[in-house]
Structure 1
Amino acid sequence: MASGQGGETTALVACVTRRRVVGASAGDSELWLFQGGESTALTEHQHRKPLLGSGQARPVTFELAWRGGVLLGASDGLFKYVDLRRIREHVSLADANAAVLALTALPRLARCALPDDVGLVLCRPSAPGP
């Protein structure tokens, strides 16, 4: 930009180990844990505004003991336009590639366009160990 200012964005960073999920977020991207029919928003306390790049973002940390399940991190283009029940159904698909393709197709409009950008990461780590 001619003014020398950059854009603003959302951010979600997570470190997944065999025992813990630790991270931070700012903006409107979300990280959810799907486990045994339950859904937990790890980023539920984040601040949507101000975004990164504004110089005033307030990232919020999160930490959770890892006990298995599926982690889904995605932009608001998924979570804002698709019901959590439908997301849960697709996260549970046995084939991870099929799950990702299905999840990215969920918010598509009838004319095949997306109402917002959709970016996602699906993580199915192996069972926790000692």
Structure 2
Amino acid sequence: MNLKTFSLGAASAVTTFLVVGAVTIAVLSGPFGESPGVGILGVLAGFVVGLGAGVVVAAFAGRLSGAARAALVTYATFGVAFLAIAALQYVNVPGADAVFTFPIHLAVSALLALAAGAAVFGRFGRTPGRKPSV
């Protein structure tokens, strides 16, 4: 394991934590309403599944190449970008709340993730020795 695979594992854990936590809270909010227990269960489920995903990704990320590697970078970048924008709003950067409404927040995170994945695919996605088609 090197710094690259550890970073991909940590970033994938963050993304998985956010997704699983949000889905768990959304699913449990229906039958149980807006109770604090729902939020606690969502955070706990996100933490456990995110930790597992991070360990698995860190163990096997070095074996990936091409489109699989680009997809992993895209997935991992989404969570980190989402968290970075949320941090801007949390520390009250002037104008961040006005600019990053939730739909814009999601869209910017997705665009940053797609740009990172495309950059990785452009650099590592081609077969060695072949010229790219025009």
Q: Same fold (TM over 0.5)?
A: no
Higher CA-based Rg: 2
> Normalising by structure 1, what TM-score?
0.27
> Normalising by structure 2, what TM-score?
0.27
Higher strand share: 1
